[in-house]
Every structure is written in C-alpha cells, then in structure tokens.
Amino acid sequence: MKPVKTKLITSDKKIKYTNHLGSFVSQAEAERYAVLLEMQAKGLISDLQRRVSFTLIEAVKVYKYERVVLKTKTKTRKKKVTAESPVTFEANFTYRNKHGKLRVEVVRTDKEYKDPTYIIKRKLMRYLHNIVIIENKLTLMRNI
C-alpha cells in the first residue's frame, strides 16, 4: 500500500458556526465532532483529527529557463516552477477505529455530494489510497 500524504489545513470556507469546541463550517459538522470526541473519550476511536488534506495528484513541476544579464556576460539559469497545482481532497475528520483502520469522514449537503468534482475525488481516494469515505449528510445529522 502506498504511503498516504496528509497535512492539516486551514479551512478556506467561511466559518459559520463557532462553539466551545472550535470553529466549524456548519452546525452539523460541530455536532459530529462532539460525537467523535465522546467516542474517543470512551476508547472506541483514536487519533482524531480535523480538516485533513490528502494529496491525490502531485503538483506538476517544470523547468523554466531565464536569461540573466550580468556585467560581463549573459547567463541562463534553470528554475523549477509549478505548472499545475496539486489535486487534494479535504476531509472533515480522520480517526482510527478500535482495529487501527483509518476512517475518513465528510459532512456535506446533498448538493455537494452530487458535484462531479467531489465524485471524482471520492473515487480517487478509494483507488489511490484504498480509503472509503464515510459521508454524513447535513440534513440527516440534525435529525439524529
């Protein structure tokens, strides 16, 4: 299995809900975090993290040649620049269950789950990292 490249990210989405646990994009995300914290306190899960980014496709870097005019001669320098930015998947929560398996959860609306970009990223997570994403819908979370 390939190693999973992850990093903690700061959310670029607008913060809409804040409570004693932190700042969240939605109230449903905050409620799910509270449930996961309780599960971690009971020992059902471990290594709980929020806002984790997984790299699906690395950035494409190319060499760019630039000419530098010095006092006595012209010199060509080779510089590595990013031609294409990386493709990443941002998960709301990651944790390990009692068997040690990595679990990745997202809390989104029905509209976001039907977005073609999300569908492709979900499939890439399964194909590249062998991680099945647990989807929690905002409407369902409020009824629980």
Domain ranges of the chain: 6-58+87-143
Angle at 83 between CA 78 and CA 87, to 5 degrees: 140
Instruction: Write the pLDDT tens digit of every residue in 84-131.
Output: 889 999 999 999 988 888 999 998 887 888 889 999 999 999 999 898
Instruction: Write the pLDDT tens digit of every residue in 37-88.
Output: 999 999 999 999 988 999 998 888 888 888 888 888 888 888 888 888 899 9
Instruction: Write the pLDDT tens digit of every residue in 18-33.
Output: 777 777 777 888 888 8
Any alpha helices (H) in the chain, and if so which ranges?
27-42, 110-113, 116-129, 138-143
| CATH fold label, 6-58+87-143 | Trna Endonuclease; Chain: A, domain 1 (3.40.1350)
8 A C-beta contact, residue 36 and residue 93:
yes
Long-range contacts of 65-74 (CB under 8 A, 24+ apart): none
